[in-house]
A = this chain, B = another copy of it.
């Protein structure tokens, strides 16, 4: 089994403010393809420290992956130091220099000469393009060791790992890589311990199949990993387990692997050529922002209203003053009028509305912080749901937006749409 050592560079990681999520992401990804993490190091921008880390990494593992330190600034030393230890010398690559100069030209900004560092690589290295930034990654096999350098910003790093690194690892280690296959089943609704109870009987896997639960912003991700004598066997094991889980959680399941709730809903709406509009009070745009994470969402998303003030609720959505007075802005009745008003205003097929108390202030005995109403209006009806969340302002807002999406998802599921 291949061994990997992960190095995170960046002074900020040594301060008590930044959690190093990169190394955790990489560890999980590498596990998935059967590469074992034997150690991790976090270092600042000091040359001596970086050297030590790469030295002990190369000593104790076949593969060393580092994140960060690829920037143009003086304190970004990772590539320089790592190449030295591998016994390779970075030289300027014309095509990379051109790419850099174009990048700055596009932005109509002069390129600081110091950025040229980012265009230098050892001849032995494969350059990993970084469409999202100026710092390319590096994949360097030399003397039976593999050195992989990735940028620090998580979005750049994850994209580069998935598109550039993973395929190369599978290319270079196909033989050694102990094949395991995984599937993640994603659930929204029940809590982690609830899911654990529901699946208890499946936890003790009969054969070659393990299960792990991960709670993530209200979603529960069930990761099943199958080992087997061969490809077919592994798939058989995985499918059996998936079916068993599906039988127990069925309608709570919203997707698999990389599926997201917004994607899932997008597919359903697009497939049935329906349109969606929203009205948001406490989430103030979070729902619209989630829906439009999906490229091409304009096909089914009309838009909506951020009704943060009562005046806005009345003026744009026609919520009645009497309703607001009698029941309050955070009430079943207001949520329904918001949804119906949005449906009418937009002429969309579905309208989602959210009103709630995100806190930390503004709660009362009968309407505590975390009380949220979500409503779904459609041609011949409107369903309203009362929810009570516990957590920070941000948590309550996120869970409210996701629950609204899930309300629509379940409705569309029933419609078989």
Q: Which residues of B contact A295 (CB under 8 A)?
A: 358-361, 393
Q: How far is B14's CA from A12's CA once the two chains are assembled, in angstroms?
A: 21
How far apart are A204's CB and chain B's nearest CB, in angstroms? 10
- Kindly state whether residue A174 has any CB partner on chain B within 8 Å: no
Residue in B11, B71, B305, B395 whose beta carbon sits within 8 Å of that of A192 in the complex: B71
Give the segment of A243-251, A278-286, A376-384, A402-410 that binds chain B: A278-286
- Kindly state whether residue A414 has any CB partner on chain B within 8 Å: no
Is the CB–CB distance between A44 and B39 below 8 Å?
A: yes
Decide: A48 near B24, CB < 8 A? Known: A278-B306, A306-B303: no
- Kindly state whether residue A206 has any CB partner on chain B within 8 Å: no
- Chain A interface: which size bin? 35 or more
- Kindly state whether residue A62 has any CB partner on chain B within 8 Å: no
How far apart are A26's CB and chain B's nearest CB, in angstroms? 8
- Kindly state whether residue A28 has any CB partner on chain B within 8 Å: yes
How far apart are A59's CB and chain B's nearest CB, in angstroms? 7
Closest to A285 in B: B285
Q: Which residues of B contact A42 (CB under 8 A)?
A: 23, 39-42
Q: Which residues of B contact A193 (CB under 8 A)?
A: 71-73, 112, 114-115
Contact indicator per residue, chain A 160-197, by CB within 8 Å of chain B (1) or not (0) = 00000000000000000000000000000001111011
- Kindly state whether residue A98 has any CB partner on chain B within 8 Å: no
- Kindly state whether residue A273 has any CB partner on chain B within 8 Å: no
Is the CB–CB distance between B73 and A392 below 8 Å?
A: no
- Kindly state whether residue A38 has any CB partner on chain B within 8 Å: yes
Is the CB–CB distance between A48 and B60 below 8 Å?
A: yes
